[in-house]
Amino acid sequence: MPIRWGIIGCGDVARRRVAAAISSDAQSECLAACRRDPVRLAQFCADFEIPRAYATYQELLADGQIDAVYVATPVSAHCAQVVAAAAAGKHVLVEKPMGCTVAECDHMIDACQRAGVRLGVAYYRRFYPIVERMYQLLQEGSLGELLSISAVTANPFQMSPGDEGYWRVLPDVGGGGSLMDIGSHRLNLFRHLGGPLREVKAYCDTIAAPYAAENVASLILRFQSGAHGMLQCFFGSPFDPDSFTITGTRGQISSAPLNGGQLVCELDGQRHVESHPPAENLNAPLIADFASAIQAQRPPEVAGEEGRETNAFLANAYLRSQLTN
């Protein structure tokens, strides 16, 4: 029997990728969705042939035929919705970042553990074939000893208070700004590829934008191994390099843009280019893994504990930025 999903929040990410990823997954069925705006909810359900529409997440969670939910709401709503879903016996895949605070992450993990349901966090880039190839090269020692990982990413957001996505620059709603929203993805990859992160120096600023949260963030990191890391993430830049570079004692591998799937390998004095394009729907492998985890009664690839670890490092980065300023 397929995993029957409900989608909590029918905004941008749900419309662009989540609903289609669930509908196309062989192990899944998209049974229901909820949104407060009845007109947009009806249109969303019609567009993706979702049979059940609910005005509130509480009504959706009361549906006994739903097995799992995808929480695609602003970050400040995650904790209450995940805890309620766990209490209703639903498995939960929650958008990243997991919560606004580490305490919220702990509350979600505890609720899901007590209820005996799976909890995953939607760091979908983990499933990119190019990231899997990077991991393979690191694990087999092709780069030698790791020296550094660096990434630069941007989003052309120029948001006004009336825009649907404006919550991304409201710290009380999104948890932060560019670092929280797009930097979290890269920090999760840093941890996955380079091992545990030990310390950070951070600069978070608002430049040429009327936001309460940062639109420019720069981090210098140190891994437990001693290797270094550098991350820059911006809102409001028309140019997104989406670059990702790993340097070791035997060479370097890099991709720009990471979403493009082209991996430049310069190892032991030899250069070649590999192609590892992502899935057409970037969320499809994430959905497939979570559905498989439920069926096999195993943890998902990116479980709640890992989402918490990313949040803890983000919190430390924001603290260091405040001390610097």
- The rounded distance, in Å, linking the Cα atoms of 238 and 254 is 22
Residues in CB range of 226: below 8 A, 6 or more apart: none
316 Cβ contact partners less than 8 Å away, ≥ 6 residues apart: 200
Q: In what order do the strands lie in the sheet with 146-155?
A: 197-205, 216-223, 228-235, 146-155, 243-248, 251-255, 262-267, 270-275
Q: How far is CA 193 from the centre of its chain?
A: 15
Active-site pick, 4, 78, 91, 96: 96
CA neighbor of 96 nearest in space, from 105, 88, 84, 87: 105
For residue 64, which phi and psi values (nearest 5 degrees)? -70, -10
Q: Is 90 a catalytic residue?
A: no
Q: How many residues does the chain have?
A: 325
Return the beta strands (E) in 143-291 as ranges.
146-155, 197-205, 216-223, 228-235, 243-248, 251-255, 262-267, 270-275
Catalytic site residues? 96
